[in-house]
């Protein structure tokens, strides 16, 4: 942490845990500054430096008189470029916005709890929310706060967060040819639906044990991660009980052997219904974790199958097993930022009233969204550009079955090329 003159943050004790969560996120994770918390009876947050008040956060942080002009920033331009989620008001040159409260509200997913659920019993988004969440508006709020704080204490400040480009692959299918019936169906899809004779030919040779399974995309994904200097993570699916959304575990699969011998990072991918039961989720995560542990992994990552996490069970079990990060927050129909931010964060557990010890990386782009629907290329480009603006994270979700065909790989490369744009 950077050593500056002593900074004291005064706040009242109302909703204290929530306020400290927002303050900690900005000062500990983003700015990495030393500070102390003190209390007063006023509604606003006040920042003191060397015993003197330098900033009233609620009343001044986005106001015209809070220091923009002193640092050469046009307030009207800053105001007009600031995205807002829902309605807002500003009068007399001052926005009505609680930045730390907003951070808690969205990073604890209060904005998702009122939503309807889809056919998979997952939280879903309205079209209006999908459009709004294409911009990481919390990053814009924090950026404005950093500008004003730096001006108030007369010290240039910058974010210390360094983002990640995560290419993550869900291994939902351990084999595309477990039997002749499956081989015939997949080959028919290759020719009739996807018009991909080369993949059909590869599938034939694989069925005859002459070449690798088309679902084995390890070599291709490793070259992709090297090209984009991305972190590559494969999530393994080993269900205890099968549903129509789960595939059987194939312990002698060539794909599994390829993963275990290719020096790629592995994570867990518990089954469709696993989060409905703490016992089932614990058993599945522990079984896959032990297999990964044998490969020398010391940092454990998770993503729920179909993104079917449960607030009541998921993070409780993940913490108990010592997981370091989770990639389950996202929506298949959203290209953007589910929590309104492009940085990782620690999810707030409502049941124990504290932040988890797990880094949460939200899903930014999913292959099914950009390949199976007519998503505008400009939308992907804009989302990637928004994240890069704040040195944020981009987390791409792929599936080894969907990316087994050449046509889908070419489409995906077209979208991911915007990362260098």
By CB neighbour count within 10 A (0-12 exposed, 13-18 middle, 19+ buried), where does 150 fall? middle
- For the segment(s) 165-175+215-420, the CATH number from 3.20.20.370, 3.40.50.2020, 3.40.50.720, 3.40.1640.10 is 3.20.20.370
Weakest mean pLDDT among 74-83, 149-158, 343-352, 380-389: 74-83
pTM over 0.85: yes
pLDDT tens digits, 55-97 = 877 544 455 554 444 444 555 555 556 665 544 444 444 455 6
The per-residue pLDDT of the chain, averaged, comes to 84
pLDDT tens digits, 119-151 = 888 888 777 777 778 889 899 888 888 887 888
Q: Domain extents for the chain? A: 7-153, 165-175+215-420
Q: Which residues, other chains included, contact 334 with Cβ-Cβ below 8 Å and sequence gap of 6+?
A: 125, 130, 133, 363, 369
């Amino acid at each position: 942490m950077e050593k500056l003159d002593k900074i004291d943050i005064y706040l009242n004790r109302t909703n204290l845990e929530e306020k400290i969560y927002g303050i900690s996120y900005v000062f500990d994770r983003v700015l990495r500054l030393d500070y102390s918390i003190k209390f007063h009876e006023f509604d606003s947050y006040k920042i003191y430096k060397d015993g003197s008040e330098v900033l009233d956060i609620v009343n001044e942080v986005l106001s015209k008189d809070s220091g923009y002009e002193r640092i050469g920033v046009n307030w009207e331009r800053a105001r007009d470029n600031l995205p807002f989620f829902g309605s807002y008001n500003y009068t007399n040159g001052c926005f009505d916005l609680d930045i730390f409260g907003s951070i808690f509200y969205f990073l604890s997913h209060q904005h998702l709890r009122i939503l309807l659920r889809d056919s998979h019993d997952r939280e879903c988004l309205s079209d209006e929310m999908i459009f709004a969440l294409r911009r990481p508006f919390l990053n814009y709020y924090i950026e404005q706060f950093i500008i004003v704080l730096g001006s108030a204490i007369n010290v240039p400040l910058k974010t210390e967060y360094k983002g990640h480009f995560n290419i993550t692959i869900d291994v939902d299918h351990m084999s595309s040819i477990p039997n002749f019936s499956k081989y015939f169906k997949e080959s028919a899809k290759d020719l009739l639906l996807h018009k991909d004779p080369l993949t059909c030919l590869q599938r034939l040779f694989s069925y005859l044990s002459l070449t690798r399974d088309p679902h084995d995309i390890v070599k291709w994904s490793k070259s992709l991660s090297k090209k984009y200097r991305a972190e590559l993570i494969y999530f393994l699916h080993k269900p205890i009980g099968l549903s129509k959304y789960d595939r059987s575990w194939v312990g002698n699969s060539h794909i599994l052997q390829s993963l275990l011998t290719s020096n790629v990072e592995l994570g867990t991918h518990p089954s469709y219904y696993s989060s409905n039961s703490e016992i089932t989720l614990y058993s599945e995560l522990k079984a896959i974790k032990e297999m990964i542990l044998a490969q020398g992994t010391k940092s454990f990552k998770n993503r729920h199958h179909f993104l079917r996490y449960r607030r009541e069970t998921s993070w409780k079990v993940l913490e108990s097993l010592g997981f370091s990060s989770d990639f389950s927050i996202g929506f298949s129909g959203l290209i953007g930022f589910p929590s309104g931010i492009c940085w990782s964060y620690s999810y707030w557990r409502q049941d124990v009233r504290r932040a988890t010890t797990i880094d949460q990386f939200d899903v930014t782009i999913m292959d099914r969204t950009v390949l199976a629907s007519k998503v505008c290329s400009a939308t992907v480009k804009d989302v990637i550009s928004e994240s890069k603006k704040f040195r944020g994270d981009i987390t791409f979700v792929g599936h080894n079955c969907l990316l087994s065909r050449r046509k889908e790989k070419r489409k995906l490369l077209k979208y991911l090329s915007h990362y260098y744009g």
